[in-house]
Amino acid sequence: MKSPWHRAFLALACWGAAAVAQAATPILVVHGGAGVIAREITPEREREVRAALALALQKGYAILKAGGASLDAVSVAIGTMEDSGAFNAGRGAVFNHDGRNELDAAIMDGATLRAGAVANVHTVKNPILLARAVLERSPHVMLVGEGAEIFARSVGMAPAEAKYFYSERRWQELQQALKEEREKDAASRNPPHHGTVGAVALDARGRLAAGTSTGGITNKRYGRVGDSPIIGAGTYADSRCAVSATGWGEYFIRATAARDICARMEYRGDTLAEAARAVVMDVIPRLGGDGGVIAIDDKGDIATPYDTQGMFRGWVDAGGNAHIAIFAQK
């Protein structure tokens, strides 16, 4: 019969092994949208985007470095980008056909598979925080429109006026889209400005999380909802993989793109890079769409494939070094 001291030693050894197994080097990846066109980005715009991405990385990674949860890092990083006015999310989002900002977001905790999402909200400064509130304080996964706005007020989120979201650049984009519509002169079937923001993170306990926030596409109608708030399409996280997508949402929905990447790892044994590249560079284009993703696995490997000219993106690597890129790395 083993003595109490022997049993205690074994228990301590098992606990230590589990702690080592759970330990991970924190990693954070963010994006500010695919669909970047080289000839359209001015030096001023590039500086604005790089500064906004850098701040999101700084704030999100500070949480991870302090031992915080991946879900918190994702919330803060995305909230920072929503506040910046530099992206198509939160402040500075695109306008729909009626000249309103119509916002969507989702967040998912890979360790528990809990998720929260909101769509078609108009007065919420930080849709990602409302999605987080749905995850934590609602029995539902997705709330939309007026119901989501009522829920926001019920959890203490004060509504913002329309002028908070206004951006002259986005307003002029709508005017151009309306002009092309009147003249029936849309040059391309691709909805312009794929901009969306997202983040994926791995924390020190090995937990993954993903989140995405967007204003959708310029001149959208009829309460259109893209892939960003749809769990498994534009946002997904489980115990081995976390994904945030950006692109032509209708095709990411049809391909269940975010979940497909994680499923390829689970069922086929693909690496993260193989799975992400197959979905972004093969599945989505074959359907007729385009875009990109950021993804991370439980080992800390990252993937950022895209099939547009560029994608605003940044990451903090295992050494704590921050990187920001827009076009292909040389």
Residue range 165-175, pLDDT digits in tens: 999 999 999 99
Collapsing DSSP to helix, strand or coil, 202 comes out as strand
- Round to whole Å and give the CA distance between 290 and 304: 14
Query: What one-letter code names the amino acid at 121?
Result: V
pLDDT digits (tens, 9 = 90+) for 215-238: 999 999 999 999 999 999 999 999
Query: Which stretch of DSSP H or E encloses residue 131?
Result: helix 127-137
Query: Which is the catalytic residue, given 25, 42, 123, 196?
Result: 196
- Round to whole Å and give the CA distance between 71 and 200: 9
How confident is the model at residue 77, as a pLDDT?
Answer: 98
Question: Domain ranges in the chain?
Answer: 24-325
Is-above-0.85 flag for pTM?
yes
Top-confidence residue, 37 or 116: 116
Reference 197, options 221, 153, 229; nearest CA is 229
pLDDT tops 60 at residue 15: no
What are the CA-CA distances from residue 198 to residues 57, 184, 206, 210 (Å)?
11, 33, 20, 8
- Round to whole Å and give the CA distance between 113 and 102: 27
Topology of 24-325 in CATH?
Glutamine Phosphoribosylpyrophosphate, subunit 1, domain 1 (3.60.20)
- Round to whole Å and give the CA distance between 106 and 234: 9
How confident is the model at residue 282, as a pLDDT?
Answer: 98
Mark whether 196 is an active-site residue. Answer: yes
How many CB atoms within 10 Å of residue 317? 14
| CB of 71 closer than 8 Å to CB of 200 | no
pLDDT digits (tens, 9 = 90+) for 244-289: 999 999 999 999 999 999 999 999 999 999 999 999 999 999 999 9
- Round to whole Å and give the CA distance between 179 and 309: 25
pLDDT digits (tens, 9 = 90+) for 285-311: 999 999 999 999 999 999 999 999 999
| CB of 324 closer than 8 Å to CB of 311 | no
**Across 99-123, average pLDDT:** 98
Q: DSSP class of residue 95?
A: B
